Amino acid sequence: MKILVVNAGSSSLKYQLFDMERGLMLCKGNCERIGMDGMITHKCPGREDFHATPAFPDHRAAIGYVLGLLTDRELGSIGSVAEIAAVGHRFAHGGERLRASSVLGADEIAYLESIVPINPLHGPPAISGFKACKEVMPDIPHVGVVDTSYYSGLEPHAYIYPIPYELYEKDRIRRYGFHGTSHRYVAGKAAELLGDPSAKIITCHLGNGSSITATMNGKAVDTSMGFTPQDGVPMGTRSGALDPTVVTYLMKKEGLTAEETEKLINGRSGLLGVSGVSSDCRDVREAAAKGNERAALAMKILVHHVKKIIGSFYAELNGADALVFTAGIGENDRELRKEVCADMTALGIAIDEEVNAACPRGETAELTAKGAAVRTFVIPTNEEYMIALDTLRLAAQNK
Ligand code: ADP
């Protein structure tokens, strides 16, 4: 059975095609500059990458082109579109109603449209991407896999903000959590490695966007992210958690509008804001190694916040069986893993520095130092495969 996974952004459409019987990714690619001119990169393992600049006036044109490519005699991976059994769509936000992955029908789409006000950036392109795919593949199940759904089991005391309760009732202001598909995937893998589905696991997804999740009994119990993906640890360009009055003070003092302030905390803060060098962790590390003090400070702030959240989740879970690092920084930056895990022996966290330093890229590895109570892992995330697995399960049930 072949499953196509689609992740639509405002001007992009990423896709991966999986052969689920063999657990293989057949090809993947990214359509970019949709609505402007158009550009595609298509990659199949073992073959040369394909690049082209077709016209992509909208998502419909992009998905049409992708289907042509997937079935192309030379470049393709399948004989015909009919081989695609179902499509899995990634949605960042499912509000309070989409609490699990589901086959998307008119009701679900109407609900996703109704929550665009709380998901203005990701919602509209994901809905357009879905509609475009549904139009060209009308007869197969289209499954929505929603990042926030992993947090649908959070207790009210974990998701209600201590502001007037009416604002939750009226405006749905609450903690939703993000990156749930990644956290669900790596926490599931860690539970498998521990041989304990009820394990207490703290997962650190540290990439351009970063978040930390506490999982127990296979369910998320807390997340560092909040109403939007702006909360929690500092990120490439996002500030992470701030005293809220920093925002209102700045608006008053600098005369900033709401939009300008959002741009400041979303696009000019985090690693970029502090270092003044780059939002990319590799560049910041390199600058720090050359003696740039603000770059070194940016990395120290990141480590400080990651440690703080691990500690708070350890308290919340009343212990931890595993700590997991994933995503671009978590999987690749051995220095950061070393710094985060330093001086955490009181919590039973300690890693073997040699194993950490030699940790092979793109592979699962256990870093736990001898005698440490908490097992520490690097587990490469694979959100697309998680989406494909959910899609396969729901498509089978939908038959
Ligand atoms: P996204 O959130 O966009 O999916 P990724 O998970 O790909 O992002 O993470 C991107 C981040 O990972 C960037 O900050 C990048 O610098 C960082 N990264 C990638 N490789 C390395 C590396 N070898 N060392 C340090 N950071 C790395």
Whether residues 124 and 19 fall in one domain: yes
* Residue 228 maps to a domain: yes
* Residue 39 maps to a domain: yes
The Cβ of residue 183 has, within 10 Å, a number of other Cβ atoms equal to 32
The CA 204 to ligand 1 mean position distance, Å, reads 13
Whether residues 235 and 352 fall in one domain: yes
Whether residues 202 and 129 fall in one domain: no
Residue 47, domain extent: 2-152
Instruction: Specify whether 147 is catalytic.
Output: yes
Q: Each residue's pLDDT tens digit in the chain (399 positions)? A: 999 999 998 889 999 999 999 999 999 999 999 999 999 999 999 999 999 999 999 999 999 999 999 999 999 999 999 999 999 999 999 999 999 999 999 999 999 999 999 998 889 999 999 999 999 999 999 999 999 999 999 999 999 999 999 999 999 999 999 999 999 999 999 999 999 999 999 999 999 999 999 999 999 999 999 999 999 999 999 999 999 999 999 999 999 999 999 999 999 999 999 999 999 999 999 999 999 999 999 999 999 999 999 999 999 999 999 999 999 999 999 999 999 999 999 999 999 999 999 999 889 999 999 999 999 999 999 999 999 999 999 999 877
* Residue 392 maps to a domain: no
**What backbone torsions phi and psi does residue 142 show, to the nearest 5 degrees?**
-115, 120
Give the binding-site residues of ligand 1, using a 6 Å CB cut-off.
Answer: 207-209, 236, 280-282, 285, 327-329, 332-333
* Element containing residue 189 per DSSP (H, E): helix 180-194
Q: Mark which of 126, 152, 178 sits at the end of a domain.
A: 152
Domain CATH code at residue 254: 3.30.420.40
Cβ atoms of residues 351 and 341 within 8 Å:
yes
| 3-class state of residue 241 by DSSP | coil
> What whole-number distance in Å separates Cα of residue 251 and Cα of residue 197?
47
Cβ neighbours for 252, distance < 8 A, ≥ 6 positions apart: none
Whether residues 78 and 216 fall in one domain: no
The whole-number pLDDT of residue 41 equals 97
Q: Which residue is closest in CA terms to ligand 1's atom 24?
A: 333
Cβ atoms of residues 222 and 187 within 8 Å:
no
Whether residues 319 and 202 fall in one domain: yes
> What whole-number distance in Å separates Cα of residue 148 and Cα of residue 97?
10
Whether residues 116 and 254 fall in one domain: no
How many domains is the chain partitioned into structurally? 2
> What whole-number distance in Å separates Cα of residue 368 and Cα of residue 353?
9
* 125 closest CA partner among 31, 216, 259: 31
Whether residues 142 and 217 fall in one domain: no
pTM of the model: 0.95
Bridge-based pairing of strands 84-91 and 102-103 is unpaired
> What whole-number distance in Å separates Cα of residue 269 and Cα of residue 273?
4
Between the two ends of the chain, the Cα-to-Cα distance in Å is: 13
Query: Which position among 49, 72, 139, 147 bears the catalytic label?
Result: 147
* Residue 176 maps to a domain: no
